[in-house]
Amino acid sequence: MVVSRRAALLHGAVLGTAFVAPCAFGARRAAAVPARAPAYSLAAWKALVGSTVRVTGRPGSVLRVTEVRDRSDVTRGNRVPGRGEVFVIRLTGQSGPALDEGVHPLEAPALGAPALFLSPVGPGPHYQAVVNTWLPDTAAERR
């Protein structure tokens, strides 16, 4: 599947909007993840590298978290002060049918049930999700 730059940018914008307010309903925390790490934090996902997550509503679909890459450098060049994280999660299908591009709720052992917008990348069952929780500071916060 070939993804155009325009489509990738559009998906990034959608993800940025979708994950501005991170939440995890019914989250079960595991010892590997710091107690205060939200479901959409870099620290939480780095702790899951090498582990598997199940795709909710897709019996038999299991993904392995293969890489979590910090992309905060994208926001460092921004002239507007702010805070938050930007990172990429790479997953590989372990079992089950191939997933379509879109939002998929996952059952992560340490995070509960976060939903991620997964995009197929490359040949085979490889997927990636871009998480962007970066928010610009408001004028009141800069004072």
Across 23-47, average pLDDT:
60
Q: Is residue 140 part of a domain?
A: no
113, 106 contact by CB (below 8 A) = yes
Q: Is residue 93 part of a domain?
A: yes
Q: Is residue 142 part of a domain?
A: no
Domain boundaries, position 125: 5-135
Q: Which range among 22-26, 84-88, 129-133 shows the weakest confidence by mean pLDDT?
A: 22-26
Q: Is residue 143 part of a domain?
A: no
**pTM check: above 0.85:** no
What ranges make up the beta strands (E) of the chain? 52-55, 62-70, 82-83, 86-95, 102-107, 115-120, 126-132, 135-136
What is the total count of domains within the chain? 1
Query: Tell me, what amino acid is at 4?
Result: S
**With bands split at pLDDT 50, 70 and 90, how would you rate the model's confidence at 51?**
very high
Q: Is residue 141 part of a domain?
A: no
* pLDDT beyond 50 at 33: no
Across 49-58, average pLDDT:
92
Q: Is residue 124 part of a domain?
A: yes
Instruction: Work out whether strand 52-55 and strand 115-120 pair parallel, antiparallel, or are unpaired.
Output: unpaired
Distance separating alpha carbons of residues 102 and 82, to the nearest angstrom: 28
